[in-house]
Amino acid sequence: MMSDVCGSRLFMSLPDDVFILLTDSVSPRDLCSISLCCTSLNTLVSSDKVWLSQCESLRIVNSQADLVEWRNGVTSYKCLCKFMFSVQPLLGIWVHQNPELGNVVYVMPGFLSVVGCRILPQELGPFGLLDGSLLWAPVFEIICGGNGELVFLLHGQDRDGEYFYPGSVEPVDRSCNVLLLEVEPRMQSNCCKLLRSKSLGHPHLDWESMRWTHRSDGGRFSRSERVFGWNSSVVAFDRLTFEDRQKLLELAMSQVGLKVPALASGPLFPRCGDGLKKDLMLLSERRLLLIKSYQKGSGEYTDWQTMSGKPSNTTRVVARKPKKSLEPSSSSGALLNGNDTKRRSVAICLKESLTPVLRKFIPTGGLVISKRGPLSSESKHASQLHEFIWSGDTIGLSLHASTLEPTTWRAWPKMHDDKYALYKLPMWNPKSGQEYAGLWGGTFGWPPGRPSEDKGKALFFLFLSYEESEGGQLLTATKILEGNHYVDHPNGSAMFIVNVGQLSTDPFPLETDGDFATLDIKHTYTGKGIADGYGFRYPGSKPGSLFAIQDDLLAFVWKESRTVLTLQRIDLQELLRKGKRVPALPPIENFTYLMRSYSNVYTSFSDSTYAL
């Protein structure tokens, strides 16, 4: 009878294939909750078949064969799913408005990892977009540990070569749209006896660690960012002044840098073409080497309690002048090898470098902060910095994925100029009625994708999105990257806007030959294209037409000048696998280049053979 088979016994009686089909409709968190019901369900849910199906549903890798390769590096499919679930929201296109030529970081799967790749402003290769000449530089990677833990490494360049900068990252919230590079205070697990951590990561992360709490600045703290014990208040990193945040980042970078070994300088993801098995072998060896280096503690947090002890929980906090003062440089700092036994304490550097700030308020070198009296703006900032430093036993780099209320103008996020942050572009996948949504690449000129005889053509990346208006549905092409020596239009500019509800009968105004002797024009739309107007920041527009041509090709033609911008849909992941890697920027700038610039700042840091 049915009453004899109910609850967990009903699940146990189902064939494996049926049970897997049922579990496909629930999230990994739900599966973990089911496993807590009883021993029998825990055994059933722990099956590799169940978690393999969950991994496939996340669609991070392209095939089951790739999943099998990834599974060989972890203890179970459940651990693999934990990693994939934790990092999946990072996949996609991240941008910043400075410099104006482009600050585009594409996060894609590596090998048991996700990799952030910066697309450099550049000219089109001799055979167009498909010749494998796309230039890119590594920004960061998050590697999967043996049990699914997250290993974060920031890439950076210094005078003597490339470095890794280890840090921490927690499982990413599904709705995150901002990535912040921060310094994070932490409490040691044993407050009575301070010990150096063996890892910057979270070796025992579980699904529960994905819970969040709100920060004082309106953002959200992950569980690891809460401060326990003597100090129940938290000064968020965002609340510090830009100068203090930059100083903390520079000092942390100067202490945790690890010189990239020869093996680790190899590929970050399997490349296209022959040699796939060789790449997989190299990637596997590279991953194990990086995890081993990460766990040695070369970039671990350094405690500073040996300096002067923690302040008591009173209304009076005194910071005394150290014996020597260290003025921080404007660069990322002198990077030290992991084998350097004379590495200075991050805390000592911090305290010494803060002395000039503290001396502004009391000539004797001490700072007295009272809760009873009002504070000046400068002393308030110094107080916040002091509280931030003392809010934990140790500090370290942190990649913080945050969720902000989306504020956009024609699909372009409104950004802060003083935060080391990347903003995620919304995913626009082609569908019925929105066939042209997504990422497109191209150049000015006709025929498309070919450099002219006298000079190359600047590569443009445009992000096409739809919005409803009173006159109908509008298609907007937003510029996110420009490959000129000097910028012509700001990031976030609408290169053209067309009303897809208004078809046009205009003929294609340019001569056709070669591969385009016969054009199959599917649709023509009327619209407006960007033009000189009231200045660089406020361009005007002039009428034009968008032609949808065969083979996923678009051409926007300005009527008056007959200038044409030709675009083709691109697979950025495929282009990066075929592309050419160049050296990264210095570490902080490599995460996001904040300085406003109208010239190509990246060429001086990349290989001159490939640069503009």
Is there a domain that residue 12 lies in?
Answer: yes
Residue found under tokens 């049922």: 22
Q: pLDDT tens digits, residue range 373-396?
A: 455 666 777 778 888 887 777 788
Buried (b) or exposed (e) across 283-320, using 16+ Cβ within 10 A?
Answer: beebbeebbebbbeebbbbbbbeeeeeeeeeeeebebe
* 249 vs 472, higher pLDDT: 249
Phi then psi for 492, rounded to 5 degrees? 85, 0
* pLDDT score at 564: 93
Distance CA 174, CA 455 (A): 45
What CATH number is given to the structural domain containing 18? 1.20.1280
Distance CA 284, CA 378 (A): 51
* pLDDT score at 352: 57
- Report whether 298 contacts 258 (CB < 8 A): yes
Buried (b) or exposed (e) across 487-515, using 16+ Cβ within 10 A?
Answer: bbbbbbbbbbbbbbeeebeeebeeeeeee
Q: pLDDT tens digits, residue range 233-267?
A: 578 898 899 999 999 999 888 888 888 888 788 88
Is there a domain that residue 310 lies in?
Answer: no
Phi then psi for 379, rounded to 5 degrees? -70, -30
Tally of domains within the chain: 2
Q: pLDDT tens digits, residue range 20-41?
A: 776 776 777 777 777 777 776 7
Q: pLDDT tens digits, residue range 29-73?
A: 777 777 777 776 776 777 788 888 889 989 999 888 889 999 999
Which of 77-86, 120-129, 500-509, 522-531 is predicted least confidently?
A: 120-129
Residues recorded for the chain: 612
Is there a domain that residue 551 lies in?
Answer: yes
Q: pLDDT tens digits, residue range 519-529?
A: 788 999 999 99
Q: What is the DSSP string of 82-101?
A: HHHHHHGGG-EEEE-S-STT
Give the N- to C-terminal CA distance of the chain in Å, as an integer.
76
Distance CA 273, CA 577 (A): 9
* pLDDT score at 225: 41
Confidence class of residue 364 from pLDDT cuts 50, 70 and 90? very low
Per-residue pLDDT averaged across 190-203, rounded?
31
* Mean pLDDT of the residues in the chain: 75
Per-residue pLDDT averaged across 216-236, rounded?
47
Distance CA 202, CA 196 (A): 15
Which of 194-203, 442-451, 579-588 is predicted least confidently?
A: 194-203
Distance CA 523, CA 516 (A): 16
* pLDDT score at 13: 65
Last residue within a domain, chosen from 34, 56, 88:
88
Measure CA 88 to chain center. Answer: 12
What is the residue range of 457's domain? 428-571
Last residue within a domain, chosen from 571, 588, 603:
571
Mode of pairing for the β-strands spanning 421-424 and 438-444: unpaired
The amino acid at 581? R
CA distances from 405 to 118, 178, 219, 402 (A): 25, 10, 10, 10
Buried (b) or exposed (e) across 131-167, using 16+ Cβ within 10 A?
Answer: ebbbbbbbbbbbbbbebbbbbbbbbbbbeeebbbbbb
Q: pLDDT tens digits, residue range 501-559?
A: 888 888 888 877 656 657 788 999 999 999 986 667 778 899 999 999 977 899 999 99
* pLDDT score at 12: 65
Is there a domain that residue 600 lies in?
Answer: no
* pLDDT score at 599: 87
